[in-house]
Amino acid sequence: MTLLKTENLYKAFGKLEVTRDVNISVAKGERHVIIGPNGAGKTSLVHQLTGQLQPTSGRVLFKNLDITNATPDQICQMGIGRTFQKNNLFRSLTVQENVRLAVQAKQGGWYECLRGVGIRTAQLERANHILEQIQLTHDLHRPVSSLSYGEQRQLEIAIAMAAEPQLLLLDEPTSGMSLAETDRMIELLRSLPSSLALLMIEHDMKVVFSLADTITVMYYGEVLASGTPQDIQSNSRVREVYLGGKH
């Protein structure tokens, strides 16, 4: 079943074309990785899928609904979670509160905010459960700023998971991580429920080939190739521009 589909997605900033007729699709439970050199338009694409950027033309369909003009909060409520390339946390709050705030967004209509404390207990339980799943449990009441960089990357994912997404967009989850941290992140991503679809931007080939069902290669805003890891590895154009040579 196709969860997410883009139709001729196109985005230009003046004369700079960052997304050129991109057609990709993600199925339920699929692990789809987007690779490509810096400036290939990967993050711009993710921004268009989650409403942070408006495409110039083309459509984004999620569960056959047109979400091209939806706002980020609406898209999140529909079931697409995302993380950011640079850690994008609530820096003055504790680890637990970071996740609870995201749980609260999902659990109640906004008027629920006016209700009492009982609802808070349920939210905290849910937050703790997610943090356990993401293996961030040793001190929930620490401020975010005291976490290591790798732990902050994990928390990024915990916050996105709180929205109970069916599709999770991960923008370079292992960027800036040490080798050991990267291995832990691979384990963590593997442990996510298999019903959850992942659309991931990644540079680290070890991560790419250990997780991907499908790889899409982007180059100057275009999809150069898309297919199984074997297809991509044997694709001569991909080898030429990306995998081969200095890489």
Partner 1 sequence: MKFLRPAVFVALIALLGLAPLAGDYTLGIVAEILIYGIFAMSLGLLIGFTGLMSFGHAAFFGISTYTVIALGVHLGISGWWGMAAGICVSALAAAFVGLFCIRVSGIPFLMLTMAFSQLLFSVALKWRNVTGGTDGLTGFVRPTLFGMSLDDAVMRYAVVAVGFVLVLSFLWLLVRSPLGSIFIGIRDNEQRMRAIGYPVQRFKFLAFTIAGTLAGVGGALYAFFNAFVSTDILHWALSGDAIIMVVLGGSATVFGPAVGAAIFLLLKNIVSSHNEYWMLWIGATFILSVMFLRQGVWGFLVSFAQSAVGKRK
Which residues of this protein are in contact with partner 1, per CB under 8 A?
50-52, 71-74, 76-77, 81-82, 84, 88-93, 97, 100-102, 104-106, 108, 110, 112-115, 119-120, 159-160, 162-163
- Give min distance, CB of 241 to partner 1, in A: 32
Whole-number Å distance between alpha carbons of 198 and 230: 19
Nearer to partner 1, 140 or 163 (CB): 163
Whole-number Å distance between alpha carbons of 7 and 205: 28
Q: Are 187 and 212 in contact (CB under 8 A)?
A: no
Nearer to partner 1, 112 or 240 (CB): 112
- Give min distance, CB of 112 to partner 1, in A: 7
Q: Are 200 and 34 in contact (CB under 8 A)?
A: yes
Nearer to partner 1, 100 or 126 (CB): 100
Nearer to partner 1, 2 or 145 (CB): 145
- Give min distance, CB of 46 to partner 1, in A: 11
Q: Are 51 and 231 in contact (CB under 8 A)?
A: no
**Bridge partner residues of 5 (DSSP):** 25, 61
Backbone φ, ψ for residue 170 (5° rounding):
-115, 120
- Give min distance, CB of 95 to partner 1, in A: 14
Whole-number Å distance between alpha carbons of 213 and 230: 10
Of 47, 44, 75, the closest CA to residue 61 belongs to: 75
- Give min distance, CB of 55 to partner 1, in A: 18
Nearer to partner 1, 119 or 225 (CB): 119
